[in-house]
A and B are shown apart, each in its own frame.
Chain A
Amino acid sequence: MDKQSIIELVLKEHGISTSGRLAEDIFDDKHFYVFIDVFRNSDNLQVPSNKKLNEIKGHIADLGINVEFILTDSTKRSIEDGLRASMLHSFPENIRNSFLTISGTAARVWLVPKAAINDDLLKEINQKIGIYLAVFDINHFSTELTSAANLPSRIMCLSVIRNNSPTSMETIIDALRRRHFTVPSEDWMSRMLDVLRRSGMIIRSKGGMYSLSLAGLKALGTSKGRRSPDIIRILALARSGE
């Protein structure tokens, strides 16, 4: 019996039906790709389960054949298409694209925004998604916005202060903008610095210069190599001509 027939026989024994035909690997005659269309049961669990597929893979490996299962989920795909149509129809100004992924029982909706989405709008979008997904018995999901505004994070601000300390607010803004972050205004920056100071991560000296506190340094941690903060700091000092 040839290898393909052996694989097909084992799959049949376990009640697994393939989608399309087995594909060969011309570089390895013991390696095959098996496409399987999975579906979800009433508990929203994948059938056949990964556990079952791994067991079958093991049985086939015992016979000296290495199979790779490629899972396709045509049901999920049509739910995803419908969700996209609904999102683009209801929020044409704000949403560019959407994807649905399901791993284990966790459903995730990935939204690619066209324009900023505020909390109120997000609530409205989530309601719409919830109603739609419930039709398919998907009752829990999370929404992931894929691109938020390009504001520097707290951790990024700390990192810039560490590299340049003691440093003025103007230098911090410059350094962040050089790294292509959007700093909306001095007011925004000053509020950010205030938050960092009140949480004990940075200290402000009399001349309005900022440095990391010991707690801040410890929290930020360090790394070795070319990107080490020590090296970046030396380079920053050299640039400033001190």
Chain B
Amino acid sequence: MEVVAHHLQLEALRRAMQQEGDQFGRSSYNRYYYATFLRVRTMISALDAKWSQLPHADYPMTLRGAVKKKLQEGRKRALKVGDHEIVAACARAISAASEIANLMESASATRVVADYNPQIPITFLGNGRFSLNNINITEAHDWPVRADTWSSVIEKTWVQLGG
């Protein structure tokens, strides 16, 4: 999906002077968001299979609520057996969950602009970059990378807790 997004990004730049430039540009934001969502979904489904059906708009709330709670329970268990490394890992995973929630909120809002607010145009910046409502495309390009980093933090902690 990131490959598709990147392809659309490059195509938008190639067509910057034409009308389709705007459409390619917006579509690349959409695909970067989708790539981000897919990565987070893999992580969240591994935590609890029933969450694979969760609509994307519910992710931030679930990450700040149920996911955080599961990790806090794990942290408590690790404390009881004196496993300090895992206590630290749980604290790290809790911050990661909160960062993913923030990321998904801003990425999702940017996607809403891209898909449903055509009156807000893509701005070509002339340095091989463009932006949408002041969100630079390089930032969108980073979303899936961040999501992957923080999701792995949670997954690695989760397997250590033995489910």
A residues apposed to B, CB below 8 Å: 19-21, 23-26, 33, 35, 37, 68, 70-72, 77, 97, 99, 101, 103, 108, 110, 112, 144, 146-148, 150, 152-156, 158-160, 179-181, 199, 201, 216, 218-221, 227
Are the C-beta atoms of B146 and A99 separated by less than 8 Å? yes
Report which of A33, A110, A180, A181 forms a contact with B109, defined as CB distance below 8 A: A33
Are the C-beta atoms of B105 and A156 separated by less than 8 Å? no
Residues of A within 8 A of B145 (CB): 97
Which of under 10, 10 to 19, 20 to 34, or 35 or more describes the interface residues of B?
A: 35 or more
Are the C-beta atoms of A155 and B161 separated by less than 8 Å? yes
B residues apposed to A, CB below 8 Å: 77-78, 80-83, 85-86, 89, 92, 95, 98-99, 105-106, 109-110, 112-113, 116-117, 119-120, 133-135, 139, 145-146, 149-150, 152-153, 156, 159-163
Are the C-beta atoms of A97 and B95 separated by less than 8 Å? no
Are the C-beta atoms of A72 and B92 separated by less than 8 Å? no
| A26, A146, A155 — most chain B CB neighbours (10 Å) | A155
Are the C-beta atoms of B113 and A77 separated by less than 8 Å? no
Are the C-beta atoms of B152 and A25 separated by less than 8 Å? no
Are the C-beta atoms of A154 and B149 separated by less than 8 Å? no
Distance in angstroms between the alpha carbons of A150 and B122 in the assembled complex: 43
Are the C-beta atoms of A152 and B134 separated by less than 8 Å? no
Report which of B77, B112, B135 forms a contact with A155, defined as CB distance below 8 A: B77
Residues of B within 8 A of A26 (CB): 116
Residues of A within 8 A of B120 (CB): 20-21, 23
Are the C-beta atoms of A21 and B162 separated by less than 8 Å? no
Are the C-beta atoms of B83 and A153 separated by less than 8 Å? yes
Report which of B92, B98, B117, B139 forms a contact with A24, defined as CB distance below 8 A: B117
Residues of A within 8 A of B98 (CB): 103
Are the C-beta atoms of A72 and B135 separated by less than 8 Å? yes
Distance in angstroms between the alpha carbons of A242 and B114 in the assembled complex: 61
Known: A112-B149, A144-B92; 8 extra A-B contacts, CB below 8 A, are: A72-B106, A99-B146, A101-B99, A152-B160, A154-B81, A154-B85, A201-B81, A221-B77
Are the C-beta atoms of A158 and B81 separated by less than 8 Å? yes
Q: Which 10 A-B pairs have the closest CB atoms?
A: A20-B133, A159-B162, A219-B80, A154-B83, A153-B160, A20-B134, A70-B109, A33-B109, A219-B81, A26-B116
Residues of A within 8 A of B160 (CB): 152-153, 155-156
Min C-beta distance of A152 to chain B, whole Å: 7
